[in-house]
Chain A
């Protein structure tokens, strides 16, 4: 397996534009997580899914953020409209529900909103 795949790796967009980040988890993994990393706040969990169902979205900062998982092999994180303070690295991770298994992270998407 190629691991967790995120796209794009880098995104530069203008304030007010819609941004969509994509994630393909490791095949067979039933948990998917979206994290955001900034210098000020470190790594923050935004939302996670189990079997494609959102379980906890309490970390989603505002209604401008939304996430979907239409099937087991694909998830999106959308920001609409984007703002400069959304600039960060966004990571997707996946894991199995089996006791004690670790989470595997993608390489991240570096988002810059100008």
Chain B
């Protein structure tokens, strides 16, 4: 799986958009970008994933650059409960293939009141 690079930490004001970047310059054509987050003392939680098109769900939006070498997770209106470590993971996701996730260090997002 491709290696990802994320900033160690970020702050965001409550109510503002949180934009979390991720670099994955060695991504392969069949690799997806996944985002998970881990709130303190809880298990990781899936947020969103995408291949090359931008994606949006009830939690966040995922913007993937045209060359797919980087992406940004956007939390449109951050709340205090969004304070967590956010993990960007790149992996193959074809049917029948291995399902394991390889977690890096992630970005500690702190939402400030």
Which residues of A in the span 45-89 have a Cβ within 8 Å of any Cβ on B? 45, 48, 50, 55-56
Residue pair B93, A99 in contact (C-beta under 8 Å): yes
The CA of A42 and the CA of B8, in the complex, are separated in Å by 13
Question: How many residues belonging to A are interface residues under a CB distance threshold of 8 Å?
Answer: 24
Q: Which residues of B contact A93 (CB under 8 A)?
A: 43-44
B93 partner residues in chain A, CB cutoff 8 A: 99-100
Q: Are B43 and A105 in contact (CB under 8 A)?
A: yes
Q: Please report the C-alpha to C-alpha distance between residue A107 and residue B39 in the assembled complex, in whole angstroms.
A: 11
Q: Which residues of B contact A106 (CB under 8 A)?
A: 43
**Main SS class of interface, A:** strand
The interface size of chain B toward A, counting residues with CB under 8 Å, comes to 21
Q: Which of A43, A48, A97, A99 contacts B44 (CB 8 A)?
A: A43
User: Is A33 a contact of B99 with CB atoms below 8 Å?
Assistant: yes
A residues less than 8 Å from B41 (CB atoms): 108
Q: Are B42 and A107 in contact (CB under 8 A)?
A: yes
Most B CB within 10 A of own CB, among A99, A100, A102, A107: A102
Most B-side CB within 10 Å, residue of A33, A97, A105, A106: A105
B residues at A contact (CB < 8 Å): 32, 34, 41-46, 49, 93-96, 98-105
